[in-house]
């Protein structure tokens, strides 16, 4: 797995969904906002505790996750 320093997973936070630095902001929220046309500046204004690097890593994580393939186990 690629190393992501700002993406965290905690079953006690947002049900274990990938979040930004343990905060209650999911990668899906960031990607969804950007996909619906919000600029990074607008997102950072709405979530002042986020940093520009958080947004970039959320996009990088989402792109990596989409390309990841899960292969079924083959019985021999």
Checking if the pLDDT of 1 tops 60, the result is no
Number of domains in the chain: 1
Contact between 58 and 2 (Cβ < 8 Å): no
What pTM was computed for the model? 0.83
State the pLDDT at residue 17.
Answer: 97
User: Burial letters for 36-67: b for 16+ Cβ neighbours within 10 Å, e otherwise?
Assistant: eeeebeebeeebeebeeebbebbeebbeeeee
- Domain presence at residue 23: yes
- Domain presence at residue 28: yes
- Domain presence at residue 74: no
- Domain presence at residue 76: no
pLDDT digits (tens, 9 = 90+) for 25-59: 999 999 999 999 999 999 999 999 999 999 999 99
CATH of the domain at 51: 1.10.10.10
């Amino acid at each position: 797995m690629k190393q992501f320093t700002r993406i965290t997973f905690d079953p006690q936070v947002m049900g274990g969904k990938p979040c930004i630095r343990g905060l209650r902001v999911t990668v899906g929220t960031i990607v969804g906002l950007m996909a619906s046309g919000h600029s990074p500046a607008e997102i950072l204004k709405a979530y002042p505790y986020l940093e520009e690097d958080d947004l970039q890593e959320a996009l990088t994580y989402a792109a990596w996750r989409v390309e990841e393939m899960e292969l079924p186990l083959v019985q021999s």
